Structure 1
Amino acid sequence: MADSLDRATLLYGKRAIETLEQATVAVVGCGGVGGFAIEALARSGVGTLILIDKDVVEPTNLNRQLCALTNTIDQPKTEIFKARIATIRPQTKVIVHTGWYDENLNDWLQQCHPDYILDCIDSMRSKQELIKFALDQKIPMICSMGMARRKDPLQIQICELEQTQNDPMARRLRQWKRKEKIKTKIMTVCSKELPMDMEPDQSLPSSIFVPASAGLAMAAKCIEDLTNE
């Protein structure tokens, strides 16, 4: 009988798929970037997914987020993805925390034993706390930089934090990294595209193309690292 991972096995090999089935990946932030990463990881056969996000679906999410449907408005994003993954690959174990990520969650996250972390957080403070946790625990991770205010998915790239360009979030993170005297490389997914100008009180402009591409790129890098012997 055919299995949902038959085509992936042909591409990556049986041993790699077995490795993924034993792997645990944490995705922190289940919005425009994180949602597509979650989907890709589940469909690639990652055995356990840890999903952390405080938000519920809002009408403004409908243009770009996988979890956003007219019948999921006001529902927690973590719970929506847990139910969605159960219809894609029921074998996948999904652990959720619906709430903020901060240092108070570190003990819980450590007990979940993630092999890899995808940082898809918008909050700078939470992002910094997650990076410190991953570095302290020596858990490989990749961090998403700013994806709003951009239109061109072809300018997405994966690079070390010090090599990013045209990204205000990355600039702030580099300043923090130097202040904290962190020498370890921090891998990111970022866009080379200049962000569009906006009014101070304007909502962040965003469409599906750039966040979705970033999420898929993060998942691909995660799969590559987990299966790289």
Structure 2
Amino acid sequence: MSDLAWLGRTKLLIGEERLQKLQNSHVLIIGLGGVGSFAAEFICRAGVGKMTIVDGDVVDPSNRNRQLPALSTTHGQPKADLMSERLLAINPDLKLNSIRKFLSPEASEEILSSDNFDYVMDCIDSVTPKLTLLVTAHKKGLKIVSSMGAGGKLDPTKIRTADLFATRECYLASLVRKRLRKLGISSGINAVYSTEKMIDESLMLTDGSNFKKSAYGTISYLPAAFGGACASVVIRDLLSYPIEMEKKLKALTLRENKQKKVNSRKS
């Protein structure tokens, strides 16, 4: 076995047996932007032994305010290549598969069928590819955590984790939920989202490339915080740590939604 001295603090926290569990796990991260780049690094630094990362984009100057591989010296370079170099610099023994590809329905099926993934991380910020990934992963019975919208928000203390169908105050989550329900999916997807109301003035229309017709302004730290929350769901779930907060939040949200429906009927 390779030298794991660099994971000494992790071992001190979770113990030898759980550390070995991470070493033997394979995590798939799709999307290496503001959320995904940090999520991938956190997964690597936690000691996960095998990773597959997927992104077909290159660094744009506008990425520098929030994305890990985006520097003044990396404009135009593939994010997948930059993150591969960084992850292997953290852990040279990491078994890493890097795929420089945008996610189409065909690519989604191909990638998710390529190996036995212990967890899938959806860090895509466009609705159509996100839906493609979620539907494919759900049909295959894969564990998945999906990042919702980090744009248009400022407060990291409002970040929550719950079943996707118990989320609130997130426009992206609302769109995804509605479309998934039409496809017969109504539970079973972990989500990271924020209860903070969006700053509507930060909305910007785009050229529609990469399935994006609009985007919201973003601050440096919030996508990274989303990435950390996504990584925490994966690590805790892989290690079978209880996640009581999510269960309580889901129950609370369902009660609130039920009460809203009752009130709307009365009015």
> What is the TM-score of this pair, normalised by structure 1?
0.95
Contact 2:164 2:187 survives alignment (8 Å): no
Instruction: Report what 1:227 is aligned to.
Output: 239
| Letter of the structure 1 residue corresponding to residue 194 of structure 2 | S
Instruction: Report what 2:143 is aligned to.
Output: 140
| Letter of the structure 1 residue corresponding to residue 145 of structure 2 | I
Instruction: Report what 1:112 is aligned to.
Output: 115
Instruction: Report what 2:45 is aligned to.
Output: 43
What's the CA shift string for 1:145-182, capped at 9, x where partnerless?
Answer: 11111111111110111221111111111111221121
| Higher-helix-fraction structure | 2
Contact 2:80 2:100 survives alignment (8 Å): yes
RCO comparison, higher one (Cα < 8 Å, 6+): 1
Aligned ranges 1:74-223 → 2 under 5 Å: 74-105=76-107, 106-198=109-201, 201=205, 204-223=216-235
Q: Secondary structure of the equivalent of 1:17?
A: helix
What is the rounded CA distance, in whole Å, between the counterparts of 2:205 and 2:57 in structure 1? 21
| Letter of the structure 2 residue corresponding to residue 165 of structure 1 | R
Contact 1:155 1:192 survives alignment (8 Å): yes
CA shift at 1:193, angstroms? 0.6
- For these two proteins, the number of residue pairs brought into alignment is 229
Instruction: Report what 2:11 is aligned to.
Output: 9
Out of 65, 68, 71, the residue aligned to residue 67 of structure 2 is 65
Contact 2:162 2:191 survives alignment (8 Å): yes
Q: Secondary structure of the equivalent of 2:97?
A: strand
Contact 2:44 2:87 survives alignment (8 Å): yes
What is the rounded CA distance, in whole Å, between the counterparts of 1:166 and 1:2 in structure 2? 42
Bigger Rg over Cα: 2
| Letter of the structure 1 residue corresponding to residue 156 of structure 2 | P
Contact 1:159 1:188 survives alignment (8 Å): yes
Tell me which moved more, 9-18 or 158-167: 158-167
Task: List, as ranges, runs of 4+ consecutive aligned residues in structure 1 with deviation greater than 6 Å.
Answer: none
What is the rounded CA distance, in whole Å, between the counterparts of 1:38 and 1:2 in structure 2? 19
Contact 1:152 1:209 survives alignment (8 Å): no
| Letter of the structure 2 residue corresponding to residue 116 of structure 1 | Y
CA shift at 1:200, angstroms? 5.4
| Letter of the structure 2 residue corresponding to residue 53 of structure 1 | D
CA shift at 1:16, angstroms? 0.8
Instruction: Report what 1:34 is aligned to.
Output: 36
Q: Secondary structure of the equivalent of 2:37?
A: helix
What is the rounded CA distance, in whole Å, between the counterparts of 2:6 and 2:169 in structure 1? 40
What is the rounded CA distance, in whole Å, between the counterparts of 2:198 and 2:4 in structure 1? 45
User: Taking every aligned residue pair, what percent have the same amino acid on both sides?
Assistant: 33
Contact 2:204 2:217 survives alignment (8 Å): no
**Unmatched 5+ residue regions in structure 1?**
none
Contact 2:135 2:180 survives alignment (8 Å): no
What is the rounded CA distance, in whole Å, between the counterparts of 1:89 and 1:150 in structure 2? 33
| Letter of the structure 2 residue corresponding to residue 143 of structure 1 | S
What's the CA shift string for 1:48-89, capped at 9, x where partnerless?
Answer: 111111111111111111111111111111110100011111
What's the CA shift string for 1:10-39, capped at 9, x where partnerless?
Answer: 101111110111111010000000011001
What's the CA shift string for 1:112-160, capped at 9, x where partnerless?
Answer: 2211000000121111111112112111001011111111111111011
What is the rounded CA distance, in whole Å, between the counterparts of 2:61 and 2:182 in structure 1? 39
CA shift at 1:2, angstroms? 7.1
